[in-house]
């Protein structure tokens, strides 16, 4: 439900600090939807959201029910600086028909990536947006912590960056999360694992865990590698050592279920060769803290709102964009104060005749106007995309206008599923 309340735009300086909230803004007037629905023009004076250029006119499309608990609409604003176009998918997180999921491009971390519509269609999603920042034109891997259906797929980029999580009861969590792990040998000796599926972090004597989710081989330098196989088909903690190799220069792509402990030398290599032998048993311990019950999670670029106010995130990947106040295509997610509603928002940009884009502070203000109490920025620019499956359709449609002129393959996405359809 839209919760805007009319205010007069203030002349506050843009350089605000943490703890200073945004003025609340009013209900937008109806506007065109990407599905070419009829529009209604505002009959009242348009309201300018905080930190926006003065709004001259507004339009809002009719609200479309995608499935029970999921609605979509678009808004367009004509401002003194140019047009701004947004798309909003609102999700009732208390509706039993709704399930949220994180999907990896091509179901692996290292890949040529995949478009949002392709990920949505192959998994049966009714709506979705692009996700984390990623290693574009290289490995294709998302940059931060990734959890898919309760399985930790990749450890965090840093201990301070914000993570968008979905708990087992379907609620949204926005907070820093930290992956920790260790391996215990059959003799009871344990060693700390530095990271999960982050090749290169084994350097300087660290121990990293690699799984088949990585999806590729990778080079190492004089590494010691213990290859593991699960003790049973459903085991994620108990393994048997298949082989221990030393002086390894290339770790091969692992088969489904296989895992490998990669030591870059030093104490980690010494521990592996001393305690892990072919045929020996090991126990892996992995967890994410402080939220232990994340069913889904992906990394974010910047925490926008905390406790209903602008949050000057010092640890976000997108800090340089927030500081510059550059206008860009953006993707963001907000959640209401009571945790019952999620807002997925995409604003188009880099298209002067369609939409000039928003700054981070302008996006935060817009999210707050929708009812968001906490919010995060996801990857933006040419990655920004929203898809929905319109009533009666068998596949999703792209409802925004990607700034590349076409869909960009990305690393992952956040998707909405209807439990009634079995997806």
Two structure tokens written together for 166: 């979905």
* 141 in Cβ contact with 135 (< 8 Å): yes
**Element counts in the chain: helices (H) and strands (E):** 4, 28
Domains in the chain, CATH or no CATH each = 1-174+293-330+350-357+366-423 (no CATH), 180-289 (2.60.120)
Look at the block and give the residue holding tokens 């348009």. Answer: 46
Q: Are 329 and 350 in contact (CB under 8 A)?
A: yes
Q: Which of 377, 378, 384 is nearest to 348 (CA)?
A: 384
Compute the distance between CA of residue 234 and CA of residue 255 in angstroms, rounded to an integer: 15
Query: Strand 70-79 and strand 64-67: pairing?
Result: antiparallel
**Are 407 and 385 contacting, i.e. CB atoms less than 8 angstroms apart?**
yes
CA distance 195 to 286: 10
**pLDDT by position in tens, the chain (length 423):** 444 433 323 332 222 222 333 333 333 333 333 434 445 455 567 999 999 999 999 999 999 999 999 999 999 999 999 999 999 999 999 999 999 999 999 999 999 999 999 999 999 999 999 999 999 999 999 999 999 999 999 999 877 889 999 999 999 999 999 999 999 999 999 999 999 999 999 998 999 999 999 999 999 999 999 999 999 877 889 999 999 999 999 999 999 999 999 999 999 999 999 999 999 999 999 999 999 999 999 999 999 999 999 998 988 878 888 888 999 999 999 999 999 999 999 999 999 999 999 999 999 999 999 999 999 999 999 999 999 999 999 999 999 999 999 999 999 999 999 998 655
User: How many whole angstroms separate alpha carbon 162 and alpha carbon 14?
Assistant: 23
Calculate ∠ Cα 55-56-60, nearest 5°: 80
Q: What pLDDT was estimated at residue 138?
A: 97
Buried b / exposed e over 141-177, threshold 16 CB at 10 Å, is bbbbbbbbeeebbbbbbeeebbbbbbbeebbbbbebb
Strand partners, 7: none
Rounded to whole angstroms, what are the CA distances from 151 to 235, 260, 408?
A: 12, 17, 26
Please count the other Cβ atoms lying within 10 Å of the Cβ belonging to residue 385: 28
Instruction: Give the C-alpha separation, 181 to 169, whole Å.
Output: 24
Whether a cis peptide bond, with omega within 30° of 0, leads into 290 is yes
Cα 349-344-19 angle, rounded to 5 deg: 85
């Amino acid at each position: 439900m839209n919760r805007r309340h009319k205010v007069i735009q203030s002349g506050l300086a843009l350089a605000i600090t943490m703890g200073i909230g945004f003025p609340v803004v009013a209900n937008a007037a109806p506007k065109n939807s990407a599905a070419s629905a009829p529009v209604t023009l505002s009959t009242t004076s348009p309201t300018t959201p905080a930190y926006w250029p003065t709004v001259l006119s507004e339009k809002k499309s009719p609200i479309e029910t995608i499935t029970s608990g999921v609605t979509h609409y678009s808004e367009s604003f004509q401002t003194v600086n140019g047009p701004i176009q947004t798309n909003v998918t609102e999700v009732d997180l208390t509706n039993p028909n709704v399930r949220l999921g994180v999907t990896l491009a091509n179901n692996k971390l290292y890949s040529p990536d995949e478009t949002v519509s392709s990920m949505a269609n192959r998994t049966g999603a009714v709506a979705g947006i692009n996700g984390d920042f990623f290693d574009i034109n290289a490995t294709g891997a998302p940059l931060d912590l990734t959890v898919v259906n309760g399985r930790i797929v990749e450890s965090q980029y840093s201990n301070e960056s914000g993570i968008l999580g979905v708990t087992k009861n379907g609620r949204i969590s926005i907070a820093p999360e930290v992956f920790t792990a260790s391996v215990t040998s059959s003799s009871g000796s344990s060693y700390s694992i530095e990271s999960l599926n982050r090749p290169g972090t084994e350097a300087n004597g660290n121990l990293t865990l690699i799984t088949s989710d990585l999806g590729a081989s990778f080079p190492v330098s004089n590494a010691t590698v213990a290859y593991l196989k699960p003790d049973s088909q459903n085991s994620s903690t108990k393994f048997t050592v298949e082989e221990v190799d030393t002086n390894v220069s290339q770790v091969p792509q692992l088969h489904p279920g296989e895992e490998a402990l990669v030591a870059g030398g030093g104490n980690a290599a010494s521990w592996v060769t001393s305690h892990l032998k072919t045929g020996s048993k090991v126990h892996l311990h992995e967890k994410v803290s402080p939220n232990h019950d994340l069913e889904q999670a992906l990394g974010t670029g910047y925490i926008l709102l905390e406790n209903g106010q602008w949050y000057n995130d010092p640890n976000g990947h997108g800090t340089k964009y927030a500081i510059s106040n550059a206008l860009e295509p953006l993707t963001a997610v907000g959640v209401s104060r009571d945790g019952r509603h999620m807002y997925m928002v995409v604003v188009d940009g880099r298209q002067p005749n369609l939409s000039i884009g928003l700054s981070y502070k302008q996006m935060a203000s817009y999210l707050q106007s929708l009812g968001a109490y906490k919010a995060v920025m996801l990857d933006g620019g040419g990655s920004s995309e929203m898809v929905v499956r319109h009533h009666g359709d068998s596949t999703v449609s792209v409802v925004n206008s990607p700034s590349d002129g076409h869909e960009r393959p990305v690393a992952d996405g956040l998707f909405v599923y209807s439990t009634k359809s079995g997806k």
